Structure 1
Amino acid sequence: MTSVWMRFGAFLGKTLLLLLSLGVLGWALASAWFAWQHRGPVSAEELIPDGEAAMTQDVIQTAVRIVDQHRESTRYLRDAHAKAHGCVKADVQVLPELPDELRQGVFSEPGKTWQATMRLSNGNAYPQFDSIRDARGMAIKLLDVPGKQLLDDQKNRGEQDFVMFSHPNFFVSDVTEYRQNVSAQADGETLKAFFPGWDPRTWQVRHLLIALATLSPAPESPTRTTYFSVSPYKFGQANAKFRVMPDPDSCPTYTLPAQNQKLPNFLRNALNQQLSTDRIPACFVLQIQRQDPGKYMPIEDTSIEWRESDAPFETVARINVPAQDFDTPALNVRCDNQSFNPWFGLEAHRPIGGINRLRKAVYEAVSDYRHSRNAEQ
């Protein structure tokens, strides 16, 4: 009997070693294939696929359905980033010593300070406890911006918006995948968002891993998180992505008191603790990463992170969020009703790529629908 068990143990050990070896080999082959498929150079121009307009209309219908599904008794919510931690006033100062090649659009005048509104939020389409793993969002709206706006029906808006969230790449590549993903999630079939059928060629394992990484544990505070534009924009004649990082060295030294993370809104409490109770400002830097078309930095695939080794981020402005009282019923209603859209802005910062083209149509349709329904309440 002992001999039998020894032979079985040896067989089991060899089997496990073989499976491990096959797994390592598969991982190596997949990595090599991915590196082969995703190498430069890439186009510096947008490439619009056939059928994108029809797919966009499908996404709009699904987004409206999500708004209906997640409505509260007194209001209709956004289809994403429904829960705000607060909207706060901010000052965005262009670096006084900004190099000439970075003086584009709202960054054209070194030393210029823009008054701005900043919205900090969770990413989910339904308000949930802050302790639940989620993406976190930051939207910045520069005010009183002169110049022709991108949208013809918003000529007098005078704004420049930057919309970001807390992961450098997105869990879909393009409009086709976004339509499949959001439709599955709206139907309550999350698994089908990444595994739409039995054919392994349709499986989106890499994108599932990105989605899982995006749903990260809550930070100490919304002011302790780095935010990324994910999708690209024009930056004068170049293409670029944006990033906002905490810059604690530019603000007074501050240690945030421990927050009770079991409370549903502890991120709002943390923001209120710093800005309203302790009267300590928060500081960030606003940076750009310019595309190098000679490297694999595609415009039309938002699942690809632009590597800093290919193109470093460059600071173009500093953001100061002064001490303030923001958490009042009137200001919270105003925050909830405010629209942030990457298409509110100037030609110098035109959103580009399929996901941004999709945003243009979906943001407008959902915003109009939400505001019209809330006006009827």
Structure 2
Amino acid sequence: MLITLWLRLGAFLAKTLLWLLGLGLLGWALATAWFAWQHSGPVSAQEMIPDGESAMTQDIIQTAVRIVDQHRESTRYLRDAHAKAHGCVKAEVQVLPDLAAELRQGVFSEPGKIWQANIRLSNGNAYPQFDSIRDARGMAIKLLNMPGKQLLADQPARNEQDFVMFSHPNFFVSDVAEYRQNVAAQADGKKVMAFFPSWDPRSWQARHLLIALATLAPPPDSPTGTAYFSVSPYKFGEANAKFRVMPDPDNCPAYTLPKQNHDLPNFLRSALSQQLSTDRVPACFVLQIQRQDANKYMPIEDTSIEWREVDAPFETVARITLPPQDFDTPALNLACDNLSFNPWFGVEAHRPIGGINRLRKAVYEAVSDYRHSQNAAQ
């Protein structure tokens, strides 16, 4: 009798599990179909600014300043993101000599042109931490001696073109409204609330949580060994485009980085120094663009959507070379810390577009001004 009861209970539990599995697969299929339907082209090729964005931006500025205050060190105020640099290095950015005519836009107008540049390589976190901790990695490029009218009217003599990128193709928030909610929750130490702001399942952002978890990746062996993405779009002449930087070892002398001790807190800086300063071997990248096809689902205002390569391939427009150099000195590290990078430092041909870029214009400037004023007062 007892055996029969256990067998019936086992059969009931097995059927229940099968039903739950079937319902789960059905739910997954329906969610996938709904997402595909909601995220199908065509899309607008123009910016669409929502009501209230300016007020939300001011809220975010206050939160960003609060984060800078929270993470300050005893002798300096840090950036609100990408606080820890692996180094700022000199670079040459050469436009392809045989660049196609339709790609000759802005800083890429003159085939073969070589731009001198400063590049900052960094971790993504708002507070310096061990390089072994899962994190995003950043690359900020500043082309120097840029002719033409600058986008920021109050800084006409800057003469720069910046490209700000990090190591994942899409962002874990869609727009300014979601960014405000997310960053406020994190500043308050309520990280769960960043993606699950209420008990209402309609407010949950599980997909964006998965993007955030994927962004927090294990470290590369070296900052020169990973890809970097602009995430948000820019103008590219009359087109809209995103940028990507990819390692290009085939165009540099063959090099094998000695094994690095990942237990050391700053092993990524050590790896960069090993290649450029000790072994005197250059590092090479390609700079690429991905032009928007508005007939595909490649939105401007939602940075959580990755522009798929199957819809629009990346096209190489320039090569980047980090020559052998000594960059890890107290004076150069202080200069690196004082550098400001902003996608709005640039010219009209590469105007940043979309909500996250509009947000950056205000937040980057406000946080940079606050950080520099506080550091100068110490």
Structure 1 length as normaliser, TM-score?
A: 0.99
1:352 has 2:353 as partner: yes
Instruction: Quote the Cα distance in structure 1 between the aligned partners of 2:15 and 2:329.
Output: 66
**Deviation per CA, 1:160-201, whole angstroms, max 9, x where unpaired?**
000000000000000000000000000000000000000000
**Percentage of pairs with the same residue:** 83
Q: Letter of the 1:243 partner, please give it.
A: R
**Deviation per CA, 1:194-252, whole angstroms, max 9, x where unpaired?**
00000000000000000000000001110000000000000000000000000010011
Give the corresponding residue for 1:40. Answer: 41
Q: CA deviation at 1:127?
A: 0.3
Instruction: Quote the Cα distance in structure 2 between the aligned partners of 1:176 and 1:81.
Output: 22
Instruction: Quote the Cα distance in structure 1 between the aligned partners of 2:63 and 2:301.
Output: 22
Q: For 2:41, what is the secondary structure of its paired residue?
A: coil
Q: For 1:96-175, what aligned pairs fall within 5 Å after superposition?
A: 96-175=97-176
Q: CA deviation at 1:50?
A: 0.4
Give the corresponding residue for 1:67. Answer: 68
Instruction: Quote the Cα distance in structure 2 between the aligned partners of 1:130 and 1:5.
Output: 53
Instruction: Quote the Cα distance in structure 1 between the aligned partners of 2:215 and 2:8.
Output: 46
Instruction: Quote the Cα distance in structure 1 between the aligned partners of 2:5 and 2:108.
Output: 76
Give the corresponding residue for 2:210. Answer: 209
Q: Letter of the 1:353 partner, please give it.
A: G
Q: Letter of the 1:287 partner, please give it.
A: Q
1:240 has 2:249 as partner: no
Q: CA deviation at 1:9?
A: 1.6
Instruction: Quote the Cα distance in structure 2 between the aligned partners of 1:232 and 1:101.
Output: 18
1:223 has 2:224 as partner: yes
RMSD (Å) for aligned C-alpha atoms = 0.5
Instruction: Quote the Cα distance in structure 1 between the aligned partners of 2:183 and 2:217.
Output: 20
Instruction: Quote the Cα distance in structure 2 between the aligned partners of 1:2 and 1:86.
Output: 70
Q: For 1:356-367, what aligned pairs fall within 5 Å after superposition?
A: 356-367=357-368
Q: Which runs of 5+ in 1 are unaligned?
A: none
**Deviation per CA, 1:261-304, whole angstroms, max 9, x where unpaired?**
01110100111111111111100000000000111100000000
Q: CA deviation at 1:148?
A: 0.4
Q: How many residues align?
A: 377
Q: Letter of the 1:24 partner, please give it.
A: L
Q: CA deviation at 1:111?
A: 0.1
1:322 has 2:326 as partner: no
Instruction: Quote the Cα distance in structure 2 between the aligned partners of 1:147 and 1:214.
Output: 36
Q: For 2:5, what is the secondary structure of its paired residue?
A: helix
Instruction: Quote the Cα distance in structure 2 between the aligned partners of 1:273 and 1:97.
Output: 33
Instruction: Quote the Cα distance in structure 2 between the aligned partners of 1:82 and 1:17.
Output: 49
1:284 has 2:277 as partner: no
Q: For 1:273, what is the secondary structure of its paired residue?
A: helix
Give the corresponding residue for 2:12. Answer: 11
Q: Letter of the 2:210 partner, please give it.
A: L
Q: Which runs of 5+ in 2 are unaligned?
A: none
Q: CA deviation at 1:19?
A: 1.1
1:342 has 2:343 as partner: yes
Q: Letter of the 1:13 partner, please give it.
A: A
Q: CA deviation at 1:2?
A: 2.0
Instruction: Quote the Cα distance in structure 2 between the aligned partners of 1:5 and 1:87.
Output: 68
Q: Letter of the 1:289 partner, please give it.
A: Q
**Between 53-62 and 270-279, the greater mean CA deviation after superposition:** 270-279
Instruction: Quote the Cα distance in structure 2 between the aligned partners of 1:268 and 1:18.
Output: 53
**Deviation per CA, 1:18-43, whole angstroms, max 9, x where unpaired?**
11111111111000000000111110
Structure 2 length as normaliser, TM-score?
A: 0.99
**Deviation per CA, 1:277-333, whole angstroms, max 9, x where unpaired?**
111110000000000011110000000000001100000000000011100000000
Instruction: Quote the Cα distance in structure 1 between the aligned partners of 2:330 and 2:16.
Output: 64
